């Protein structure tokens, strides 16, 4: 078993990455009424507490027909026969990020980078971090150690060549580093990765390790240390509830997500939020015959993602994972 060392780095980030809140300025400029001032200060302090901590924004760059929920129905050998929408949807996300001056980490599928070789250079050119999502979206627990090594090596080399960046981050397809595949961290270290964001500390039918730490922590393997940035969960009634993005962002009303994410920050933990390009595309072709649960998870509230994202960017501060982990 790897030794887990927990780091309380959240408050250090608060000191090093002060966020200038526009509402602070408004108090200084409008102080002619004492009651108003007091209300404004209270409001400012509440907003400031939320926005002061730098969180990570991340995108898993894959197309709607490549997701784990449809993997039993659509083989990677058939991916070329589907209408691709990933480039347009990723550009739409890039435009949204530009409009709010946010940079993020893009975990790109190697297959996408190979088919659309202009995409990774564009994401990198627009100021974002490139990281690896594996090559063909194979689940880690369905690969041998040798297959996993080949997959992450091939993807990293391709992404580095296309982006000109040193690629040091990995996110497993469908968060598939689970208790029985903890060997993956050692192989990631051996292949040049310095952080991972794949171990979801929840109970789930397809992934997760509910016993894993909630906060950023270092994992010592036989080959060296790798830093783990787990997707966000909030503790409620003795349970870890996922609140880090994706289907959970579409399922829960925005005010619930915002409240839970604020409580993550209030406990001293930055969070990593994740989204997929297809989640801002309500018009995507429907995949018939998928199980009801898969369809529910994939298609629920797609039209709500974009407006909710804009609220999220207003309410929280974001940067790349490397910014938050201080690994540059
Ligand atoms: Zn994925």
Among 84-93, 215-224, 232-241, 314-323, which stretch is predicted with the lowest mean pLDDT? Answer: 232-241
The answer as to whether 40 is a domain residue is no
Spatial neighbors of 18 by CB under 8 A, at least 6 apart, are 52
Query: How sure is the predictor about 141, in pLDDT bands with cuts at 50, 70 and 90?
Result: very high
Residue 101 pLDDT exceeds 80: yes
Ligand 1 midpoint to CA 175 (Å): 8
The answer as to whether 9 is a domain residue is no
Q: What would the pLDDT profile of 62-87 be if each residue is shown by its tens digit? A: 998 888 878 878 889 889 889 999 99
Structure tokens given for 160: 């580095």
DSSP secondary-structure letter at 274?
E
Residue range 24-48: mean pLDDT, rounded: 41
The answer as to whether 42 is a domain residue is no
Ligand 1 midpoint to CA 49 (Å): 32
Residue range 268-294: mean pLDDT, rounded: 90
Ligand 1 midpoint to CA 176 (Å): 10
Q: What would the pLDDT profile of 199-229 be if each residue is shown by its tens digit? A: 988 877 667 777 888 999 999 999 999 999 9
The answer as to whether 46 is a domain residue is no
Spatial neighbors of 256 by CB under 8 A, at least 6 apart, are none
52 with 99: CB under 8 angstroms? no
Q: Which residue has the higher pLDDT, 34 or 299?
A: 299
Q: Which residue has the higher pLDDT, 305 or 38?
A: 305
- Please give the model's pTM, rounded to 2 decimal places: 0.83
The answer as to whether 147 is a domain residue is yes
What pLDDT, on the 0 to 100 scale, is given for residue 183?
A: 94
How far is residue 104's CA from residue 80's CA, in Å, rounded to a whole number? 28
Residue 293 pLDDT exceeds 50: yes
What pLDDT, on the 0 to 100 scale, is given for residue 247?
A: 85
What pLDDT, on the 0 to 100 scale, is given for residue 67?
A: 85
What pLDDT, on the 0 to 100 scale, is given for residue 10?
A: 31
Highest mean pLDDT among 24-33, 92-101, 193-202, 246-255: 92-101
Domain that holds residue 320: 55-325
The answer as to whether 17 is a domain residue is no
The answer as to whether 143 is a domain residue is yes
Ligand 1 midpoint to CA 139 (Å): 9
Q: What would the pLDDT profile of 41-58 be if each residue is shown by its tens digit? A: 444 444 444 568 999 999
The answer as to whether 246 is a domain residue is yes
Q: What CATH number is given to the structural domain containing 187?
A: 3.20.20.370
Ligand 1 midpoint to CA 126 (Å): 22
Spatial neighbors of 232 by CB under 8 A, at least 6 apart, are 242, 243, 244, 245, 260, 261, 264, 269, 271, 272, 273
Task: Provide the residues around ligand 1 (an ion) whose CB is within 5 A.
Answer: 60, 62, 173
Ligand 1 midpoint to CA 138 (Å): 9
What pLDDT, on the 0 to 100 scale, is given for residue 68?
A: 81
How far is residue 14's CA from residue 78's CA, in Å, rounded to a whole number? 47
Residue 2 pLDDT exceeds 60: no
Count of structural domains within the chain = 1
Residue 26 pLDDT exceeds 50: no
Average pLDDT, the chain: 84
Residue 25 pLDDT exceeds 60: no
């Amino acid at each position: 078993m790897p030794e887990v060392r927990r780091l309380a780095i959240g408050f250090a980030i608060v000191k090093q990455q002060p966020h200038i809140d526009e509402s602070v300025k408004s108090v200084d400029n409008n102080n002619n009424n004492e009651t108003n001032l007091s209300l404004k200060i209270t409001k400012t302090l509440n907003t400031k507490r939320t926005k002061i901590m730098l969180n990570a924004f991340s995108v898993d760059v894959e197309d709607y027909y490549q997701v784990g929920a449809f993997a039993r129905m659509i083989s990677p050998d058939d991916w070329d026969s589907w209408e691709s929408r990933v480039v347009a949807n990723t550009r739409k996300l890039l435009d949204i990020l530009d409009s709010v001056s946010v940079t993020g980490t893009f975990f790109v599928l190697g297959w996408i980078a190979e088919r659309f070789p202009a995409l990774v250079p564009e994401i990198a050119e627009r100021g974002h971090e490139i990281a690896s999502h594996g090559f063909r979206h194979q689940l880690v627990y369905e690969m041998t150690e040798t297959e996993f090594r080949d997959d992450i090596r091939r993807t990293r080399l391709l992404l580095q060549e296309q982006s000109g960046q040193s690629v040091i981050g990995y996110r497993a397809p469908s968060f598939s580093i689970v208790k029985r595949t903890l060997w993956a961290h050692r192989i990631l270290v051996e292949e040049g990765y310095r952080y991972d964001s794949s171990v979801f500390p929840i109970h789930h039918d397809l992934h997760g390790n509910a016993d894993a730490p909630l906060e950023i922590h270092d994992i010592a393997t036989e080959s060296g240390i790798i830093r783990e940035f787990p997707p966000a969960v909030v503790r409620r009634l003795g349970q870890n509830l996922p609140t880090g993005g994706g289907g959970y962002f579409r399922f829960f009303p925005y005010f619930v997500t915002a409240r839970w994410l604020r409580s993550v920050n209030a406990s001293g933990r930055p969070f990593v939020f994740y989204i997929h390009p297809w989640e801002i595309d309500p018009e995507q072709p429907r995949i018939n015959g998928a199980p009801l649960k898969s369809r529910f998870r994939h298609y629920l509230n797609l039209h709500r993602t974009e407006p909710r994202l804009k609220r999220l960017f207003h309410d929280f501060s974001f940067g790349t994972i490397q910014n938050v982990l201080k690994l540059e």
